[in-house]
Amino acid sequence: RKEVEQDPGPFNVPEGATVAFNCTYSNSASQSFFWYRQDCRKEPKLLMSVYSSGNEDGRFTAQLNRASQYISLLIRDSKLSDSATYLCVVDSGGGADGLTFGKGTHLIIQP
């Protein structure tokens, strides 16, 4: 069974701090990796894809470690608006049924 594991949190972090969380996946054949953001009672929205070489988008950095089968998300200079649940999503290929969602990590940025 394909599994994606995340620490559910909550992570309580002061505004301006740096926070990082990891996600582990069980299927070594997984091909694509994403981070989604979900606000309370809203739909998930794509935050960023995760590339093998790692990638950065403003204050957000995503990294992939295939050997240890985990991906990470780093948020620098955290803002109050970063408070949300962050979903790790892994695509093991084979079409639309290949996407596996983690249960999410809840992040609370405190003023």
**Amino acid (one-letter) located at 56:** E
Q: From the CB of 68, what's the least distance to another protein, in Å?
A: 20
Q: Which residues bind another protein (CB under 8 A)?
A: 4, 31-32, 34, 42-46, 49, 51, 87, 91, 95-104
Q: From the CB of 17, what's the least distance to another protein, in Å?
A: 27
Please give the Cα distance from 25 to 103 (Å, whole number).
12
Please give the Cα distance from 35 to 22 (Å, whole number).
11
Q: From the CB of 22, what's the least distance to another protein, in Å?
A: 16
Specify the DSSP class assigned to residue 7. Answer: -
